[in-house]
Amino acid sequence: MISDIMKKYGLIESLYPVIRVVDPINKTVIDSYTKKGFEHGSEAHGHKCYNFWAKGNVCANCIAMRALNEKDSFVKLEFAKDSIFLVTALPITYNNQSYVLEFLKDVTNSGLVDTINFKGQAKLIKMLEAKNELLIQDPLTKSYNRRFIEERLPYEYILSSGDEKPFAIAMADIDFFKKVNDNYGHQAGDYILINFVKKISETIRSKTDWIARYGGEEFIIFFKNIELDEINMVMEKIRASIESNTFLYEDTPIKITSSFGVSFSNESSNFKNLIELADKRLYKAKETGRNKVIID
């Protein structure tokens, strides 16, 4: 497979020491090429694509998934084995199947990245992660953004298929948020959004769950491996914590409530349908009085 692709794209093997075909949904390497003598090597067929970076888990900033979704090429910087790599992801079709072609190039000493001010790997890795994190982060609330949702949920479906428990998503919305902006100003509204996220983040599990801004005052909360009785408990805890809290903006106390709609991964095989279902339940919560959680 890789030899056919390399013939199609010309002399790319002279430019990139590592070239691989990736299935971004399953996060696996379909085929790969490593230039002779290149010390870093690559992965064999079927290995997880993120193994190359020795992170132990999926990349939060997956440009392969972005390339597949948006049918465009993307680049990012990654760190592996004492080297900085420029990664280019290009969507391709092979035998009527969609894949992503990744080109990896060692740019440690190219001048592309200024490493002079970074003493040691830890600071360098942190710098690169911070740059990549900006692509999937909402600039105001520092939660994940909509791009992250669209890149991550398809992979979560794959993971959940082998688990005994499904995952759940909650669509969250601040009730009467326009009144906050009208009564206290847009800066106060921004303050509420930031601290709304912080309040929810304090309740969810930091290593498995996450929150992302879907748009405006709407957020999606992801819960990994969770059952109905568990989600009932945690959602009520989140709802009550928002209702009971007083948000203090420049000595002005502001009270808000929030509404939620929840759906489970086993209710649909399509993440967009899952979001729509959670959104319908959120709408029902708002239509029937707000400040409540609707799960079915």
130 versus 145: the higher-pLDDT residue is: 145
| Residue finishing a domain among 104, 136, 168 | 136
Provide the 10 A C-beta neighbour count for residue 36: 6
Q: What is the mean pLDDT of the chain?
A: 85
Q: Does one domain contain both 151 and 125?
A: no
Q: Does one domain contain both 132 and 150?
A: no
Q: Does one domain contain both 107 and 164?
A: no
What pLDDT is attached to residue 57?
83
Asked whether residue 141 is assigned to any structural domain, the reply reads no
What pLDDT is attached to residue 264?
93
171, 281 contact by CB (below 8 A): yes
With CA atoms as reference, report the closest residue to 151 among 61, 211, 219, 222: 61
Percentage of the chain modeled with pLDDT above 70? 83
Q: Does the pLDDT at position 190 exceed 70?
A: yes
Mean pLDDT is lowest, of 74-78, 154-158, 162-166, 183-187, for: 162-166
Task: Give how many domains the chain has, as a whole number.
Answer: 2
| Residue finishing a domain among 136, 168, 189 | 136
Q: Does one domain contain both 288 and 152?
A: yes
Domain that holds residue 252: 146-294
What pLDDT is attached to residue 11?
46
With CA atoms as reference, report the closest residue to 89 among 78, 98, 76, 79: 76
Q: Does one domain contain both 131 and 167?
A: no
Q: Does one domain contain both 158 and 43?
A: no
Q: Give the β-pairing of 210-215 and 218-223.
A: antiparallel
82 versus 287: the higher-pLDDT residue is: 287
Angle of helix 146-160 versus helix 63-70 axis, rounded to 10: 100
What pLDDT is attached to residue 284?
97
CATH number at residue 257: 3.30.70.270
Buried b (16+ CB within 10 A) or exposed e, 7-17: eeeeeebeebb
What sign does the dihedral 274-280-281-286 (CA atoms) show?
positive
Mean pLDDT is lowest, of 159-168, 256-265, 284-293, for: 159-168
Provide the 10 A C-beta neighbour count for residue 4: 10
Q: Does the pLDDT at position 86 exceed 70?
A: yes
What pLDDT is attached to residue 43?
58
Cut 0.75: pTM above it = no
d(CA 264, CA 287): 21
Percentage of the chain modeled with pLDDT above 90? 47
27-38 tens-digit pLDDT:
999 988 887 766
Asked whether residue 8 is assigned to any structural domain, the reply reads yes
What pLDDT is attached to residue 44?
59
Q: Does one domain contain both 115 and 191?
A: no
Q: What does the pLDDT average to over 78-84?
A: 79
CATH number at residue 113: 3.30.450.20
Q: What does the pLDDT average to over 113-132?
A: 59
Taking every pair of C-alpha atoms in the chain, what is the biggest distance, in angstroms?
67
- Compute φ and ψ for 114, nearest 5 degrees: -80, 105
Reported residue count of the chain is 296
Beta strands in 145-270 (DSSP E): 168-174, 210-215, 218-223, 247-249, 252-254, 258-264
- Find all residues with CB under 8 Å of 195, minimum gap 6, and list them: 247
Q: Does the pLDDT at position 178 exceed 90?
A: yes
Mean pLDDT is lowest, of 100-109, 117-126, 155-164, 170-179, for: 117-126
Q: Does one domain contain both 195 and 268?
A: yes
| Residue finishing a domain among 90, 112, 136 | 136
Asked whether residue 114 is assigned to any structural domain, the reply reads yes
Catalytic-role residue among 102, 151, 156, 217: 217
- Residue 276 is a catalytic residue: no
Reported confidence tier of residue 17, pLDDT bands at 50, 70, 90: confident
